Structure formats: C-alpha cells, structure tokens
Amino acid sequence: MVSLEGLVAAAAVLAGLGLLAWRLWAGRLEVPGDRGEEEEEEEGILFITGDGSGRCRLLCKPSALAQHLVRSLGQSAALRGGRWLWPHWPRLQMLWQLLQPPEPEPAVARELLQLPDTGLVALDWLVGARGARSGSGGGGPGSVLLLIPNAAGKVTGGLLQLGLRALERGFVPVIFNRRGHNGCPLTTPRLQPFGDPGDLREAVTYLRCRHPTASLLAVSEGSGSGLLLAYLGESGSSSRLAAAACISPVFRGRDWFEAGMPWFYEWPLLLHLKRGLSRYVGSLAEAVDVDGLLGSRSLRELEEALFCRTKSRPSSWEAYWERNEPLRDADEAAVPVLCLCSADDPVRGPPARSLPLELFRSSPYFFLLLTPRGGHCGFPRRGPGCCWGHEAVLEYFRAMAEFLRAEERRKGLPRPRRLGGPALEPPLFTWQRSYTR
C-alpha cells in the first residue's frame, strides 16, 4: 500500500521534473558553480582526479594524514565512477537519492536505549537481507559504523544503501534514531534540538561498552550532520570516535533555516515530521502549542514551535542558535572528519556563503572533499553501488585505519590484545598530535 507521504513525495518529483523541463526549454536553467562560485585554487587545496563529472578537490591543512588521504583517495576507483546521465540537474540527483529504495531491502534489529531522563533513542542494527549478523551478538572484529539520518529523522534509501555497502565490507552498521523519530517511542515531552549532542553521547558511550575492542566510526547525512559536528566539537578528544564523515552537511544551521529550502525537499520532510509528532500529541501538549506545531508551514516554523515557543522555558530564535549551531565548538574537535560536498547542492546553498572554507584551511582535523556536481546527498553514478559518495566515504575510513596502523608500527605504540579471556577495554581513543602535523 502506498503511504500518503509517498504520494506527496511522488507528486513533488513530477512537479519538479515539469519545472526543470520548462526552465531548460526557456533557456533559464542555471547551474551553481558555473558562474565563479567555486573558490580559486590556492595554497592548502590538494587535487584528486575526476569523479566522472569533473575534478574533486580536497581542501585541508597540509599534514602527514592529509598526504595519505590524497594518495588513497586519488588511487581509489570510487572517484572514477561512471558518468551520470544528468550531471547539470542537481535537483533530479537529490530526488533520485531520496526516493530510490535500497536493493535489497535490509533487515533491521531494533534496540531501545533508555536515557538518564527516562527518554528513549532507538538503535537499528542492519543485519542484511540474509541475516548476516545478529543484533544481539557481542562486539565483533569489525568497526562499528554509526549512521545518523537527517534532522527530520528520515532514513533515506541512500543511507540504508550506505549501511548495506558497509555491511558487505565487514563494518557493523547501526542507525541512530532520535527521540520520537522513525517509530522510536516518545516517553518524555522533550525532543532533541538541532545541535544538542547529549543523546548521541549516551548512544556512543553504550556502543563503546557493547563493542569494547572495536573502532567506532560515524557518518551523517544532510542536516543530520549538525548533530555530529556539534558532538565532535563538544566532546573534543573524549568523543570515543576514531573518525567521522559528513555527506552533504549543513554547517550553518540558523542561516539554513532562514534562507529556506527547495519546496520539493522541504514539504516531504515537513510532512514526515508532522506525521511522527502527531502520534504524541497528548505528551507534547504539556510542553508546546500543539495546534501551532501541527499547523507549521515550514521547517523553520516547526523548529520554533518545538524549541523556542515552549510553555515552560521559552527562548528567542537567536538564543536557540547560540546553543545549537553545529560549528560553535569546532575549534575543540580532535577527530578527523571528512565532509563530502557538491558545489551545486540545491539544499545547502552556494559554496561561497555556505561552506566554512577557513575552518578547513586552519584545522588539521577537517577535510573538505568538494566536487562540482552531485546535488544534495546524491553523487550518483551508473552501475553497482549507484552512489560514488558512499564508496568514497568507505574508502576514507579504510585509509584512516591504514594510516593508524602504519603510525602504530612506526612509533611502536601498544595495541589492545585478548589475553586468554574476555576482551580488555582499550584506553580512551585519542588522536596523536603528530598525525596532523
């Protein structure tokens, strides 16, 4: 049976196709990035050969780790995928990524994690179409890959496809679902703000306890990157993560909400959020104006209704973003994070005002892989995998593990061992400063 949400999304696709066709016929179709919006080549930008739609650029502070990533990504087949039929239509790429179901449909084992305030978040372990692993098993040898959906909690086909690709390569993928999102029960009248990493911190701590000897990795999609970036900044060297990646991240949350989004992207997500929240009207009525919440006509109005116009502790829009901007503590981040972005992203906005280029030039932990084409979380290609961005992220994690092993051998650093019994918990993971010099 086709859901109402699916019908709305399909209608948005058809309307978007019609609008794009009309603009193409009228000669008015402009492509972001073709009008000098991309930054000029300068010191600190290392170049990687093409992705099928142009040249990728890696913008970062020079270091031993940066040189290793340049070599690894430059030699990877992920950036030399087949061409996409419509490279100049980023909106089509985005819609294709949002609506295409994964093949095959993954099996998921859900685990509910209770938080200190009795709230719940859900961890969905991907077990594969054939039950490749059990959601109740202990920590295995593979790295745990935490998948963070967009801020609306929409688990897209692209995110599931990334999880399946990771499962095939020996990772242990698990999806983090916020309070009240994606069927996770809402047991308190409180949802998770855009950039509040408290619940994510509890989930990472649990994963470390459950898989004490495995490396912990995290990857976020779209606006969900605001949560991951805020967590990395607040946690600093205590994040317990070995590496992280953000696919089409939103770096400036307030600007993003205020600028507005393409309607065919915003409306399906708004409907998805309202549909989930409508299940908890009774609980939410204690904290917010439910009529105003469900009557919101944009994601910004809904965000304000949920977190600013509350009954107990109302706050201004400005004060809310002082606490929730993703990059408010970016200088404290101490874990390498790859940000995969496209210059023609129709959701994030033009690179000149939406990419924090100075952060990538100055911080040894932030790496920007920028491609001319790819849309928002699209990065499509023909052939197996369908999204070269997923392959690039997995190659990045492989390269990070290779780099760490080489540094441990070179410096003679001890590694955790099993001593004839249960696995010993390793010391808290911290990056050595010399890695990023």
**Using an 8 Å Cβ cutoff, are 336 and 65 in contact?**
yes
Encoded amino acid at 275, one letter: R
Is 376 a residue of the active site? yes
Q: Residues 181, 211, 272, 376: which is the catalytic one? A: 376
Respond yes or no: is residue 51 known to be catalytic: no
One of 124, 196, 199, 345 is an active-site residue; which one? 345
Give the chain's largest Cα–Cα span. 72
Catalytic residue positions? 345, 376
